[in-house]
Structure 1
Amino acid sequence: MQAFTPVRQLRVTEDMFEQIFSRIADGSLKTGERLPTEREMALQFGVSRSTVRETLRMLQHSGLIRIKYGSQGGAFVSTDDWSPVSNALRMILRLNQTPLTELLEARKFIEAASAKLAAERAGEDDLAKMRASLEEMKANLTDHAVMNEANTLFHITIAQAAGNLVLLATMQSLQRLIEKSVDELVNDLNASHGLLSAHNEIFDAIVKRNADAAQAAMNRHLESIERQARRWLLANRASAKTVY
């Protein structure tokens, strides 16, 4: 790998961050690749190891690297972590006291479009993942933790199958904000059977490559969740403003 260049002292961490980001963006550093050690980077950049650690923290908080510990540890390039996006979105929405129902409304349009595209573009691997999520839900109808995890995976797999990175990034960012509230909603309403039935309907339409039916089924499913959310928020009015 090409060595990094020494940085200007007045904006050391910013220069380091920009160099590493540029390498990730242009593909010189690929997902899963390990960065040089702290010592190696300190020598290449001409800075202290504490400055290297500060820059690594910035990269980690930006979702560009993952830090692993132990004998096989280090800083590894990551390009599939949307948590910084959802965290920034969460702060903006909370500052503006945006209600959960608006998040659900936005999610409905995004996921309905994803379902339509998934019916047109899903590969066999995508369908297998969706099927596995449904089987996991069916086998664990009374285990809310497993149900919620399988529910999330089902929706994310559809977004991935749509083959549109913008839809996927937006959906995953919204999903992170919504999932805690929806988890409580599903538990509170004991809606596991209804959830599985709705998912089966969506999946059947995707398997049949019926894009309009998949979009309509996802719309019905999320409209039902939205109606249930409104009832749940009325019953839990005190916590509604900070639900996400």
Structure 2
Amino acid sequence: MTDPVFEPVRSQRAFDVIIGQIRAMLRSGELRPGDRLPSERALSEQFQVSRNTVREALRMLEISGLITLRKGATGGAFIAKPDPGVLANGLSDAIQLTAISLSDLTEARLWVESMIVRVACERMTEEHLQALHDNVEQAGKLSAQGDWERKAVVHIEFHNLLAQATGNPILSILMRSLTEVVREIGIAAGPATDDVTLRSRARLLGHLRRRDADQAVAEMEHHLRRLHEMWLTGAYEGSRTPR
């Protein structure tokens, strides 16, 4: 590929202009994953700004997951490959920084997870079903061992596995963002020491195996509403969840 050519920065917000031009080239396809950006010196000349300004812009692009910075003779700034994890974390941070209530979160989960369950019933493979089965089995073993904290983590991962079964990366990113918020609430509330979720998971797996979307959705919605009530009423000892 030929080196991208950037326009000189004419604004006092040089930092934002640099990032904006690079983002625009990514959207247009002029820059693609794996492409190497010009050196800091070349970028500073093209943008007509200091190298420090270029360096800070590149650092922000790296934090956002759009580029990777490598050191050494073969190093430089490279357009990163898409990383759903970075996108999910960014969305999760945005959700947590917004003034949301527990009711807002549960309502969003009911909508999103109901859709995910229906799509998964249509598209999931035997491998997906096995992964879900293994997850529930692992949670059962941790419950028997009294390892409530690790069991809670496994329970949350079940939702991410279910989203992956849809084959839609956007749904997976959205679900991972929501489950990260749920994880934070779970930490504040404290782990549950009962097997209510395990029993619900067993019923849900049965519906999924039969591709019974209506029953699977009903089970998921019942579980999410019950969990909401437990958090809302402080059924978990030491709960500090939002009301």
Q: Pick from 51, 54, 71 the counterpart of residue 53 of structure 2.
A: 51
Greater helix fraction, Structure 1 or Structure 2: 1
Is 1:198 the equivalent of 2:197? no
Shift in Å at residue 219 of structure 1? 0.9
User: For residues 202 and 49 of structure 1, do their structure 2 counterparts lie closer, same or farther at Cα, with a shift above 3 Å needed?
Assistant: farther
Show the 5 A alignment for 1:1-244: 1-11=1-11, 12-26=14-28, 28-30=31-33, 33=34, 36=36, 40-44=39-43, 46=45, 48-65=50-67, 76-80=80-84, 81=86, 82-93=88-99, 98-141=100-143, 142-185=146-189, 187=191, 189-191=192-194, 193-232=195-234, 239-241=240-242
User: For residues 136 and 236 of structure 1, do their structure 2 counterparts lie closer, same or farther at Cα, with a shift above 3 Å needed?
Assistant: closer
Contiguous gaps of at least 5 residues in structure 1: none
Structure number with the bigger relative contact order (C-alpha 8 A, sep ≥ 6) is 1
Give me the whole-angstrom Cα distance separating, in 2, the residues matched to 1:49 and 1:125: 50
RMSD: 3.3
Amino acid at match of 1:85: L
| Native 8 Å contact 1:99 1:240 kept in 2 | no
Identity of aligned residues (%): 24
Contiguous gaps of at least 5 residues in structure 2: none
Give me the whole-angstrom Cα distance separating, in 1, the residues matched to 2:187 and 2:51: 42
1:85-135 CA-to-partner distances (Å, cap 9, x unmatched) read 222232222xxxx32232122212211221111111112342233233223
| Native 8 Å contact 2:61 2:67 kept in 1 | yes
Count of aligned residue pairs for this structure pair: 231
User: For residues 184 and 91 of structure 1, do their structure 2 counterparts lie closer, same or farther at Cα, with a shift above 3 Å needed?
Assistant: closer
Give me the whole-angstrom Cα distance separating, in 2, the residues matched to 1:72 and 1:196: 51
Amino acid at match of 1:43: A
| Native 8 Å contact 1:140 1:147 kept in 2 | yes
TM-score, with length taken from structure 2? 0.76
Amino acid at match of 1:112: S
Shift in Å at residue 225 of structure 1? 0.7
Determine helix, strand or coil for the equivalent of 1:126. Answer: helix
Determine helix, strand or coil for the equivalent of 2:218. Answer: helix
Structure showing greater Rg: 2
Amino acid at match of 1:110: V
TM-score, with length taken from structure 1? 0.76
